[in-house]
Amino acid sequence: SSGINAEYGTLISDTISSPTHAASLSFIADTIKSHSSKEIVAVGHRVVHGGTEFPESSVLDSSALDKLASLNSLAPLHNPHNYAGVVAATRIFPHALQVGVFDTGYHRTIPEHAYTYPLPR
């Protein structure tokens, strides 16, 4: 189903069953192309753990992807899926800038009293 959003254009809502990130992104790309002639110029990716390699948002080129893959063990329930999404988006949108936004980058900015927890003796 779809509706109209005056500020952003057509709002498209759909439910799909997809086995992979690539299949999901292909569906999204096809849906966007069927509703707009505009090219996707950038894709933002939320990534859970950037380790010390990614202290802030970063362009995810091939070198950065190698580093990102090496961090999967830091967040094994999240990072492998984040990585798969970046790889799929890179294939589907080959001319688009891929940018990672890291949760750990945000957590580096909170004050000490917010991230320090008391432990029982």
Q: Is residue 30 among the annotated active site residues? A: no
Q: Name the CA radius of gyration of the chain, rounded.
A: 18
H or E element, residue 10: strand 9-12
Q: Is the dihedral of CA 56, 75, 51, 108 positive or negative?
A: positive
Give one word for 74, left, alpha or beta, with left for phi > 0 and alpha for psi -120 to 50.
alpha
Per annotation, catalytic residue among 14, 61, 66, 103: 103
Catalytic residues: 103
